[in-house]
Amino acid sequence: MNTIDLLQQHRSYRDFSSKPVTATTVSQLITTAQHAATSIFLQAYSFVSITDPKLKAKIAKITTRPFVGGNGHLFIVVADQHRNALLAKKAQPDTDVRLLGSADRFLASVEDATLAAQTLIVAAESLGLGTVVLGSVLNDTSALIELLHLPKLTMPVFGILVGYPNSQNNLKPRLPEAAVHFENGYQEPDTYSDALQSYQQTLQTYYQNRSTNQRQTDFSQIIQGALHATQQRTDLLRILHQQGFLTEKD
Ligand SMILES: Cc1cc2nc3c(=O)[nH]c(=O)nc-3n(C[C@H](O)[C@H](O)[C@H](O)COP(=O)(O)O)c2cc1C
């Protein structure tokens, strides 16, 4: 499959066979992910592979999704300025490393981590593997930080479960291009309302007819669902401060 087709065939998988993802494949995925672009070449991220079944079970509990504890290789993707802080201090002990926790460097570490993660996902898909990103590992971020011994200037971003799919979900239709691609400035949604209306229909049809978990919904209801989710993760700003991020004054 060519790369464009591969990317346009992306879907998340939540049901994996018992075929293991070998250590060689894991290593190949990480090495490939490391080739992603990275802000100021700081490579401000780490991946933690969860190979201890007990630890995986604890993380699955945090997500509240039992499939996370089942088949598949679990990575936790971490925004990481800790390594850079230590290396800077080692080279020059009086270096003030607090700037590595600034909004600018925090965002850059999340950007780095996300670009590397997406590269890993595409690499996995190119090998016939399926993946799912797991923001739900942040349902109890403090517990996750403790379980993984994450030091200051690190923050878990999400998990990625990778495995050989047992079954395939339907392709999920995306917003029309007019809704996400503007020319020379921002466009308000009422300027592409026809395209949005037609998307609502497309999405309704998708949810009514998909192979599993069929339901009546459209994009507006999905947004409502996000706003009324039980897990609002309101502790994240406090945890970011505790981890040494976003501590600069306005
Ligand atoms: C940051 C992020 C967090 C996500 N968290 C979860 C999650 O916790 N559980 C889950 O089942 N899927 C999760 N997903 C997957 C999305 O639900 C999925 O990508 C989206 O519904 C589009 O479906 P598709 O990937 O099959 O095209 C997450 C995706 C992203 C980008």
51-99 pLDDT tens trace: 999 999 999 999 999 999 999 999 999 999 999 999 999 999 999 999 9
**Neighbour tally for 201: CB within 10 Å:** 10
Could you tell which of 133, 139, 210, 213 is best to mutate to test the pocket of ligand 1, judged by most ligand atoms within 8 Å of the CB?
A: 133
Find where tokens 């998340």 sit. 12
133 - beta bridge partners? 160
Residue entry with tokens 């930080």: 145
- Nearest to residue 49, comparing CAs of 33, 32, 67, 30? 30
Task: Assess contact for 86 and 120: CB atoms under 8 A.
Answer: no
pLDDT in tens, 218-244: 999 999 999 998 778 999 999 999 999
Pocket test for ligand 1, best of 12, 206, 223, 233 (most atoms within 8 A of CB): 12
pLDDT digits (tens, 9 = 90+) for 180-230: 999 999 999 999 999 999 999 999 999 999 988 899 999 999 999 999 987
134 lines ligand 1 (CB under 6 A): yes
Residues 179 and 199: beta-carbon distance below 8 Å: yes
From CA 39, how far away is CA 108, in angstroms rounded? 6
